[in-house]
Structure 1
Amino acid sequence: MTTPTMATPAPTATTSRRGLGSILQAPLFGSSVALIVAIIVFSILSPRFLTLGNFSLIFQQSVVIGILAVAQTLIILTAGIDLSIGAIAVFGTIVLAQASGAVGPALGLLITLLVCVALGTLNGGLVTALHLPPFIVTLGAFTAIVAATRLLAGSQTYPVSDPLLTFLGTSFSIGSFRTTYGVVTMLLVYVVVGYALTQTAWGKHVYAVGGNPLAARLSGVKTNRTILSVYVVAGVIAMIAAWAALGRIPNADPNAYQNANLETITAVVIGGTSLFGGRGGVLGTLIGTLIVGVLRNGLTLAGVDSLYQNIATGVLVVAAVAVDQVMRRRTAR
């Protein structure tokens, strides 16, 4: 006597539509399509765009913002925001240039690391210990650090020439593609942080705190410790960005990267990380960084004024946040 087997139901049109809908709503899908469309459009507008040399330039121009955007991603994943991360990196370039001149480049890097970590820890401490909004804390930190940077620098720039300080700007070739160690460092930062977010308990706690802090606390997650650790890691990443900045342009300038904070937020949001925390990741941020880089590079090659480039970037950010809001509402239903 044979046992009747249950037939597997054939996929219905409704099931197929739901599967397609989930793909279309995936944050990485939208940002990936946007990047591909931008590349196609600018390839048509300018024959110089679709070349290995130009793509190498886009990656090199994206290094500092790309590294800082990783730190911004971590903080936004906890439902916070950091308006001071760019200012910390610029302060780090001045500290690095001055400390290296006084005690040597190796100790200068160590001192810069300690300074950047201290500033990140201060931000995180104020957020967790005093329960202050991250927006207010980092806005105040931004104002203070910008002023401190100019005071420390005496409103002047510091040229650097030591090979260790400019190492990340050193170029090399992979076949016919020329790149720099700064680009490699940026990609390594994405790989390491991406692994930490997806494969470690710490990463799961970061998502839990951003998604639902009360539920995370009831589940045994030490929310304050997790948030503080994110700001500490952001300080480490800011130091790496400061080092990369001197490799990109061997000149510590207190007025450099004035829009870095907003540009990192732009890359994170365009990459699909929710401003409300708990959803997103560094892969999307990398794509978002490249979208911003492609947009600016393509518009420059097309002869578009930089002010119009800023308008286009602003519109893109608002559109990305609007899409995020729509997706959250659909998920809540």
Structure 2
Amino acid sequence: MSTLKEKLPPVLTNIGTLGPFIALLVACLFFATQNERFLTGGNLSLVLQQVMVVGVIAIGQTLIILTAGIDLSCGMVMALGGIVMSKFATELGLPPALAILCGIGVTTLFGLVNGLLVTRIKLPPFIVTLGTLNIAFAITQLYSNSQTVTELPTALTALGNTFAIGGTEVAWGTVLMLVLFGFTWFVLRETAAGRHVYAVGNNAEATRLVGIPTQKVLLGVYVIAGAFYGIASLLSVARTGVGDPNAGQTENLDAITAVVLGGTSLFGGRGVVLGTLVGALIVGVFRNGLTLMGVSSIYQVLVTGILVILAVATDQLSHKSAR
């Protein structure tokens, strides 16, 4: 009979996995002592709203990093998706639902292109996505004429609306983000497709030899990641109320930071997507807490950089000790 430890993913049986949760708890306790507003329902809801776009992008980024890849284009692809759905709805007059699908379709297409270049031409993911980052940025600026798209249909901004829970306003976009994290966690943990993603990240050649189509798994991961970027596009539009061609400037690095802080290994095959949610919350809590303390935004960037270096260093040391 299998034990509970055997049923859990290997990463959960390692005490180091508790690191992100402990870091989040310590950060919350620290900022609670510095400002009485920090632990209020309204402020915690605001933190969730602030991380919902990066959080959804980071779901796709987690899938890619689990296969030992990386996607530098995610932020700019997300921005392009937002511009497409905004302009299709306002200038072309498409029904909002169709405009949203077109935006998600564009981001998914970029995921397909990334996946084909990685799997068919065997180009390194870093180089491929660095190239598509610039392509997505150029298309976004050209198509939008570097102008913000305003006067959007209410359907495009509906996820930015809120509802009350115990007197605290919670955005519908936050709920969608949490549902997506839960769904992805279930797929990765409970389905054969999810286990294949981990297997490819652990050892792609050994996985291929046992009959798993590794190239199809990799291609599927990039395509699905592209779809997540499209959903993040909608959340970005809903939160800001406009189609912003300058969105996505920092989201790629923020998403990678969330994944690494959440305990997913850059070497692939090890990590839990719920850890990515914790990683995104760590970044959000630090930025929100430092803002409440009146700390300059440049120091917030500095702290984020230090956190990601520490997380990568921990991952490197853990990988060496496991060899």
- Residue 113 (structure 2) aligns with: 122
How far 1:163 sits from its partner (Å)?
A: 1.7
Could you say which residue in structure 2 is the equivalent of 1:62? 51
Deviation at 1:109, TM superposition (A): 1.3
Partner of 2:211, secondary structure, is: coil
Q: Percent identity?
A: 49
Q: Which amino acid counterpart does residue 104 of structure 1 have in structure 2?
A: P
Distance (Å, rounded) in 2 between the aligned partners of 1:283 and 1:110: 27
State the Cα distance separating 1:27 from its structure 2 match: 4.1
1:243 alignment partner in structure 2: 234
Gaps of 5+ in 2: 1-10
Inter-partner Cα distance in structure 1 for 2:161 and 2:43? 17
2:66 corresponds to 1:98: no
Structure 1 residues 1-333: aligned runs within 5 Å: 25-101=14-90, 102=92, 103-332=94-323
Whether the 8 Å CA contact 1:67–1:189 is kept in 2: the answer is: yes
Cα 1:23/1:86, change in 2 over 3 Å: closer
Tell me the alpha carbon deviations over residues 70-100 of structure 1, each in whole angstroms, 9 at most, x when there is no partner. Answer: 0000000000000001111100010001111
| Counterpart AA for 1:69 | A
Give 1:23 shift. Answer: 8.1
Cα deviation 1:143-192 (Å, max 9, x = unaligned): 11101100000010001431210011010012223201100110111011
Aligned to 2:4: none
CA–CA separation in structure 2 for the residues paired with 1:48 and 1:185? 26
What amino acid maps onto 2:63 in structure 1?
A: L
Does the 8 Å contact 2:86/2:152 carry over to 1?
A: no
For residues 190-236 of structure 1, give each alpha carbon's deviation from its aligned partner in whole angstroms, at most 9, with x where no partner exists.
Answer: 01111111111110110000011111011111111000000110111
Tell me the SS of whatever aligns to 1:179. Answer: strand
CA RMSD of aligned residues (A): 1.3
- Scaled by the length of structure 1, what TM-score is found? 0.91
Task: Say how many residue pairs are matched.
Answer: 311
- Call closer, same or farther: CA 1:31–1:223 in 2, change over 3 Å: same
What TM-score comes out, normalization by structure 2 length? 0.94
Unaligned runs of at least 5 residues, structure 1? 1-21
Give, as a single letter, the amino acid of the residue that structure 1 aligns with 2:46. Answer: L
SS in 2 for 1:202: helix
Runs ≥4 residues deviating over 4 A = 22-25
